[in-house]
Amino acid sequence: MNKTNIKKIIEILKNSYPDAKCSLDFASPFELVVAVMLSAQCTDERVNLTTPNVFSRYSSPESFASADLSELEKLIHPCGFYRNKAKNIKACAQKIVTVFHGEVPHSMEELTSLPGVGRKSANVILLEAFHIPYGIAVDTHAKRISNRLGISKEKTPEKIEQDLLKVIPKESIQDINHLFVWHGRKCCTARNPKCISCPIQNFCPKNL
């Protein structure tokens, strides 16, 4: 997959999904941190249904840091893996309060030092909360589409991200994950992809 075709693919996807954006609801950087952590192995839709109750009870890193763990577990229960997520959210809040003076850090190194925050999550937080397109968040959609298009043959998110960064124009880094997510949900699904109606079918090795 060469850079010329990549640019064409991005242009087509932008035209196909002009409203592509982050699906998680949040009103502050820390709310995004919590929402991203809850989204692991859970749909964004479910997270958005859950977080209003969570944020009405806990409204700041300080309140999360002192939260009763069992109460927090009950509030986030619908998102699955609630015990581990609650533990990480509280520990994350405590570190933000004690180490970062209550402010969500905005560097990859600092964000990934937080409990429960990996590189993919940090990429999302940097982009959506601070408008810093540092890297590319490789989720299940980005992985599937990158493999199917032949952009990357790798299996791990870290290696796929590096392959993407080699060919994705810098000005498109901020858009590519949104475009892949929307295309993955609406067309290039894991099972029974809608190849006949796919707007980028001419660039897919399956059709060449």
d(CA 53, CA 35): 12
Q: Which residue in 125, 128, 142 sits closest to 190, CA to CA?
A: 142
Domain harbouring 75, CATH code: 1.10.340.30
Let me know whether 195 and 146 are in one domain.
yes
Q: What are the residue numbers of the active site? A: 120, 139
| Average pLDDT, integer, range 64-92 | 98
Q: Same domain for 110 and 54?
A: yes
Could you read off the pLDDT of 166-185 as tens digits, one per residue?
999 999 999 999 999 999 99
pTM of this prediction?
0.92
> Do residues 11 and 63 touch, judged by C-beta distance below 8 A?
no
Residue 208 makes CB contacts below 8 A (sequence gap 6+) with none
Q: Do residue 10 and residue 51 come from a single domain?
A: no
Last residue of a domain, one of 109, 130, 151: 130
Identify whether residues 141 and 122 lie together within a single domain.
no
- Answer with the one of 103, 130, 157 that is the final residue of a domain: 130
Q: Domain span at residue 117?
A: 29-130
Cβ(73)–Cβ(86) below 8 Å: yes
Q: Which H or E element spans position 31?
A: helix 29-38
* Domain count for the chain: 2
173, 82: one domain: no
Helices and strands counted in the chain (H then E):
11, 0
Task: Return the pLDDT at 129.
Answer: 97
Q: Are residues 40 and 115 in the same domain?
A: yes
pLDDT of residue 147: 96
**pLDDT 10s digits, 58-69:** 999 999 999 999
Q: Are residues 36 and 90 in the same domain?
A: yes
Q: Which of 95, 114, 130 is the last residue of a domain?
A: 130
Q: Give the C-alpha separation, 138 to 16, whole Å.
A: 21
Residue 118 and residue 35 share a domain = yes
Extended strands (E) in the chain = none
With beta carbons less than 8 A apart as the criterion, state whether 30 and 61 touch: yes
Average pLDDT over residues 92-116: 98
- 144: Cα within 13 Å, side-chain hemisphere: 17
Examine the pLDDT at 208 and tell me if it is beyond 70: no
SS3 of 51-64: the string is: HHHHHHHCCCHHHH
pLDDT for residue 206: 79
Q: Evaluate if residue 87 carries a pLDDT over 70.
A: yes
Does one domain contain both 141 and 125?
no
Are residues 46 and 100 both part of a single domain? yes
Same structural domain, 120 and 194: no
- Same-domain check for residues 79 and 158: no
Q: In the predicted model, is pLDDT for residue 207 greater than 90? A: no
Are 69 and 93 spatial neighbours (Cβ–Cβ below 8 Å)? no
